[in-house]
Amino acid sequence: MLSKRVQEALNEQIRIEAESSQVYLAMASWAEIQPGIDNVTSFFYQHSDEERMHMLKLIHFVNERGGFATIPALPQPPITFPSIKHAFKELLKHEIFVSESINKVIDIALEEKDYATHNFLQWYVAEQIEEEALARTMNDKLELIGDDKGGMYLFDRDILTISMAAEAKHQK
């Protein structure tokens, strides 16, 4: 059975995962209308789907542990982005924020001696390490590319391979 505090913290995390999914969906839709970045577009759509999966996993956990997962209202995400580089900077910032928020839920679980929730959240800790590392890699590459169009072509060509490799590493 979840304590009230743990349930509230998990519900807040559900909101954050839903918001992440929404923010990345906005990036995906914006990217889709930019010329020549089809794989960047797919990357954002996939990332949005993954965040939704993270949200669902939390919803099921809360409900299975005798709590009640509440479905939150979400704020309007940014509609457009000044550049691809800017969108990836936002992605990294957002992932760091999510990691901090997971850590806070873990702190609460430990204070409440809820070891099941603590254990469940370790999956999210590992996932955040992977996602932050991936976002950093993307940002480093974009920094190197600068305004070079050829570099952007290669970035778009390679982005799905890079993210699939990171995902495979995480699942080992």
- For binding to ligand OFO (CB under 6 A), which residues are involved? 17, 20, 51, 54, 95, 98, 127-128, 131
Residue 84 or 98: the one with the smaller Cβ distance to ligand OFO is: 98
Nearest to 125 by CA among 170, 172, 88, 69: 170
Report which residue type is found at 160: L
In whole angstroms, the minimum distance from the beta carbon of 90 to ligand OFO comes to: 12
**CB 130, min distance to ligand OFO, A:** 9
Query: Is 59 or 98 the residue whose CB approaches ligand OFO more closely?
Result: 98
- Closest by CA to 36, choosing from 163, 149, 115, is 149
> Where do the DSSP E strands lie in the chain?
none
- Shorter beta-carbon distance to ligand OFO: residue 90 or 152: 90
Task: Report the C-alpha gap between 118 and 18 in whole angstroms.
Answer: 21
Judged by beta carbon, residue 90 or residue 95, the one nearer ligand OFO is 95
Q: At 123, give phi and psi (nearest 5°).
A: -60, -40
Q: Find the shortest distance in angstroms from Cβ 151 to ligand OFO.
A: 26
